[in-house]
Structure 1
Amino acid sequence: MNTRWICSLVVLWCCSFSAIAQPKTAYDFVVAQDGSGNFTTVQEALNAVPDFRKATTTIFIKNGVYKEKLNLSSSKHLVTLIGESVANTILTYNDWAQKKNIFGEEKGTSGSSSFYVYGPQFTAQNITFQNTAGPVGQAVALFVAGDKARFINCRMLGFQDTLYTYGYASRQYYYKCYIEGTVDFIFGSATAVFEDCEIFCKKAGYVTAASTPDSTQYGYVFLNTRIHGDAPENSFYLGRPWRPYAKTVFINCDLGKQIKPEGWHNWNKSDAEKTSFYAEYQSKGLGANNNARVKWSHQLTAKEVSENYTLEKIFNGWKPME
């Protein structure tokens, strides 16, 4: 047999084996403003995800400030965004509620968001979500409606209404995230857990404004989270009821001096005191003051916490870290 021909076969075989043995890249798409990736904008990458795909689509976003009004539609399933670094991968826009659209109409709170997440089973990691409109009223940085949404090591930056947890059927998990704002800066009707997070209070206001439906057992649950800020002492309530059946619970949280002794506000709705559920368990820090809390709030027992506030119980079987 011709030696040159044998060598060619060996080379071809080695190349074929190499191609098979090569592991699949960790990312399906790369977004880079300098043109070194598949796309230069985040929205282009989101649009490229096949509708109703049954496998995860992973998008890596290189460092940069991406000023885009973003929308992940409900047909885009199992999308994962991974930033190069949480401090330098920034998705931002600057709309606000009173800003006029092209018809001269106000955009409203929902219309002010920088990023809309409607697709189910969305994950974001190492990304900053930002609204730079400033203290001009409602200006949402992140609007999350899709079910089983996860945010890991992310930042949500804004003033009033920073994070909109939209949708009573939506389950959302925030792990080691940083969220800042002033009035009602975590608000909405979703069931959301904030674990090992940092909540930063600016100026004065309310940390939460839940609108939990009466048919939903859990609203907001904060686990092992630190609430502090540069706001003055006694300038923040833990929450107030946007809707009558609001539910918000703080478990093993470190509360800064910014938290008012009474803890909770009824939004001038005396009836909401009977229907809302506001509770704490083993709060600590300068803002922890069990004896001064409003009479219609609750202090949970160890048994209540262990039986009712596991992730699996809160999320009705969904295990967000698996």
Structure 2
Amino acid sequence: MYACLFFLAEGLRPFRKAALCALLCCTLSSHAQDRRSVTEPTLPTTVCTTLEPRSTGNEAARLQAALNACPAGQALKLQRGPLGDRFMSGPLRIPSGVTLWIDAGTTLAASTRPADFDTGSGQCGRIDALGKGCQALLTLENTEYSSVMGEGEILGQGDQRMEGSTETWWQLARRAQREGGKQNNPRLIQINQSRNVVLYKIRLRNAPNFHVVLDRVQGFTAWGVVIDTPADARNTDGIDPGASEDITIAHSFIRTGDDNIAIKALRGPSRFISVLDNHFYSGHGMSIGSETNAGVSDVLVRGLTLDGTTWGLRIKSDADRGGLVERVRYEDVCLRNNRWPLSLTTQYAKGAVGTSIPQYRDIRFQSVRGQGGQPELQGFDEAHAHQVLLDGVHIEGAAPWKVRHTRLDTATPASPLPDCTARWLPFPEAKDSALPAPTGQVLLVGPGRPYASVTAALADARAGATVRIAPGTYREVVRLQLPGLRLLGEGATPQDVVLEESRSAADTGTTSKSAVVFAEADGIEIHNLSIANRFHEEHPQVTQGAQAVALYASGDRQRFVGLRLISFQDTLYAARRACNSGAACPPARQFYRDTVVIGAVDFIFGNALAYFDGLDIYGIERPQVIVTAQSCQTEGEVCGYVFRNSRVHADAAVQHIVLGRPWRALSTVTFLDSELDGRVISAGFIDWNQENRLPTTRYAEVNSRGAGAVPPGTRQPHMHTLDAAQLHTISSANRYLAGSDGWQPERSEP
């Protein structure tokens, strides 16, 4: 049974009245939830087309053509490839019955060019009185059984400067707030007048505006979705069902700069909604409103954990946009670090005038445990007083409740409180960061940071400094000349941070001087970024002096992890510093892991002692591409290349892949446990300009796989066979690169 507490508006004095209790203890609907039988979705079984990124520019036309050609019931799958893991795009429309599948490790990123999203008004990227000048990145309109799925990411780039502007999308939103206007920023996903739409496992990040908006949708499931945007990013709601029915949002993680979920009812009622077993972090909480004009009803929120949201369980409206909100059930809820853990307010816009009076009735809080904050239950007036049931609700350490124009029921006996101990989970980050922990001096590069360029930061750096680089493209030449320097890209993928220039041997005088990044000192590390020499892209017809190095590495004990190195001729110069002592020159030990190297001619070359683990080696554009040009030249010289667990392949223009040619007479290269494309030539290696160097080379191949693998003895006749001791040495970078000081480059990052 229930005990009724009636709070008088004037004195907040409780009265118990049996008659009132009988009146208020109406039966809550047993259908206060999605009427469908909803189970976990599954990934598609039929894929119409699989696409890999083709360029760094806007690929919307290519993606839209593939979506349009995909039959209903099938999926367009986006996956990472040798040219990257990111598709840049303007607005896309998903046809009825089609699934957009974004594979793990793949990103669909919104263009930062406002004109790409403009609706025709010319206002996208500007401030006006309406805020309706941009299309969404993804629109589903008048569709049935369409989906967005996969463990990849949709990236809004709200934190990036708009093309042609000095502001980011989010900075525009803040300026609009100060100026009393509305920002024209694109939403991430807009779903209009559709049925049975599914979002499954997808990660949505940094939307310029709302992440997911539903308008007049019948049947929608979001399951296992992750939404991640900073707490200070204005108007970045997570999921907003509006004028929609039969909605389930389950097993999802949401942190954002506005409402984590906001149920609205502007152009029609919203009802039969289930919010089940979700985790919210920063944001404005589990909201209903502010637009409740057409009525919200039959909502079940169960198993919700709110860890650090400003508001917790919240219903908000005012006299300008109010309506009836009824049959709302909150069950098994854990809250902590919330300023207002429970909030039912009818004065959302202060001083709002109108006749659309909000009224909330049959609102039940059952098994709710919170910590701190101040609950507020404030109705509009006595004629529209809240009707609320509290059944097993305890907010430990809360400030005195603000209660006004509210009729409260309490359950006797009360339902048990939830055990929240195991429910405070860390937010699921995009990946387990491989970046090493900073030590010593840390210099921050990026918009709004102390340094606008890497070069500027390095001017103030000391030996052993760490330079952390925010996502963005930095067109500059970078020279690392102090021991122990570390460059760390702070994006979710190496593609998020790009160091680029356009330089060639003809421009700079020699191949070695054409690099974009020079890693010249010992102990240098570079992690999680892209280095691109754009010379060939910008001068495709130039062939003389066209060597264009992306990374020139010449120091000892250097580590390069999670990079993308992009050029055409001579992409990676893995070399040793020049000296005059021949074989006595100290070695340059270098370790490369999980790195993509893109090129066409001799695109991994030099005389370092280098170990490449998990490389993706990708040839481009020429009929024949040549991977290595190693240059050991004297007996006793400590140098050579080992490629372990790597992949050698190429784009469609390539007919033949050559594993290498000897730049010097003792060229030393081993491929170990690697996957070879079927276009790898049967000889494997070729000579250097008919200079008969092959007889003295030290080329070896062990345990290759893939269509390009051949039986032992099939390659050119001068291939070496490695004995057990040699195989033992090359099977580990720690052994191959140990040297006299016992260096261990395969260490795990802290």
TM-score for both structures, normalised by structure 1: 0.83
CA distance in 2, matches of 1:93, 1:166: 21
- The answer to whether the aligner puts 1:321 opposite 2:746 as a matched pair is yes
- The answer to whether the aligner puts 1:118 opposite 2:520 as a matched pair is yes
**Which of residues 659, 663, 680 is equivalent to 1:242?**
663
Bigger relative contact order, structure 1 or 2, given CA contacts below 8 A and separation 6+? 1
- The answer to whether the aligner puts 1:139 opposite 2:548 as a matched pair is yes
- Written as runs of structure 1 = structure 2, the 5 A alignment for 1:215-230 is 215-230=636-651
**Which of residues 264, 267, 273 is equivalent to 2:688?**
267
CA distance in 1, matches of 2:533, 2:675: 27
Q: Which residue of 2 aligns with 1:48?
A: 460
Q: CA deviation at 1:321?
A: 2.8
CA distance in 2, matches of 1:122, 1:132: 24
163-172 or 253-262, which moves further after superposition?
A: 163-172
**Which of residues 17, 31, 39 is equivalent to 2:451?**
39
CA distance in 1, matches of 2:534, 2:729: 41
CA distance in 2, matches of 1:309, 1:247: 16
Q: Which residue of 2 aligns with 1:292?
A: 714
- Written as runs of structure 1 = structure 2, the 5 A alignment for 1:104-183 is 107-134=509-536, 135=540, 136=542, 137-167=546-576, 169-183=587-601
Return the letter of the residue paired with 2:649: H
Which has a greater percent of strand? 2
CA distance in 1, matches of 2:706, 2:660: 18
Q: CA deviation at 1:284?
A: 0.8
CA distance in 1, matches of 2:710, 2:595: 25
CA distance in 2, matches of 1:218, 1:118: 17
Q: CA deviation at 1:43?
A: 0.6
CA contact (8 A) 1:210 1:243 kept: yes
Q: Percent identity?
A: 32
**Which of residues 463, 477, 485 is equivalent to 1:79?**
485
CA distance in 2, matches of 1:271, 1:159: 26
Q: CA deviation at 1:44?
A: 1.1
CA contact (8 A) 2:438 2:466 kept: no
CA distance in 2, matches of 1:67, 1:28: 21
Secondary structure at 2:535's aligned position in 1? coil
Cα RMSD of the aligned pairs, angstroms, is 2.0
CA distance in 2, matches of 1:274, 1:182: 25
Q: Summarize deviations over 1:10-38 as a string: whole Å, max 9, x none.
A: xxxxxxxxxxxxxx977711001x2x212
CA contact (8 A) 2:503 2:514 kept: yes
Secondary structure at 2:716's aligned position in 1? coil
CA distance in 2, matches of 1:183, 1:231: 16
- The answer to whether the aligner puts 1:195 opposite 2:613 as a matched pair is yes
CA distance in 2, matches of 1:166, 1:41: 26
Q: Summarize deviations over 1:150-192 as a string: whole Å, max 9, x none.
A: 1111110010100011216211111000001000000001111
- The answer to whether the aligner puts 1:94 opposite 2:502 as a matched pair is yes
Secondary structure at 2:495's aligned position in 1? coil
145-154 or 133-142, which moves further after superposition?
A: 133-142
Q: Which residue of 2 aligns with 1:7?
A: none
Q: Which residue of 1 aligns with 2:355?
A: none
Which has a greater percent of helix? 1
CA distance in 1, matches of 2:646, 2:610: 13
Which of 1 and 2 has greater Rg? 2
Q: Which residue of 2 aligns with 1:102?
A: none
CA distance in 1, matches of 2:655, 2:716: 15
Q: Structure 1 residues 65 and 277 mapped into 2: Cα distance closer, same or farther (>3 Å)? A: same
Q: CA deviation at 1:310?
A: 2.8
Count of residue pairs the alignment pairs up: 285
CA distance in 1, matches of 2:674, 2:467: 33
**Which of residues 233, 252, 256 is equivalent to 2:673?**
252
Q: Structure 1 residues 25 and 237 mapped into 2: Cα distance closer, same or farther (>3 Å)? A: closer
Extract structure 1 runs of 4+ deviating beyond 4 A: 24-27, 231-234
**Which of residues 209, 220, 245 is equivalent to 2:629?**
209
Return the letter of the residue paired with 1:91: L
Q: CA deviation at 1:233?
A: 6.1
Q: CA deviation at 1:275?
A: 1.8
**Which of residues 602, 611, 620 is equivalent to 1:184?**
602
CA distance in 1, matches of 2:607, 2:673: 23
Q: CA deviation at 1:269?
A: 4.6
Q: CA deviation at 1:149?
A: 1.1
CA distance in 2, matches of 1:271, 1:25: 49
Return the letter of the residue paired with 1:97: A
Return the letter of the residue paired with 1:37: R
Q: Structure 1 residues 57 and 170 mapped into 2: Cα distance closer, same or farther (>3 Å)? A: same
CA distance in 2, matches of 1:222, 1:140: 20
Q: CA deviation at 1:231?
A: 4.8
Q: CA deviation at 1:298?
A: 2.6
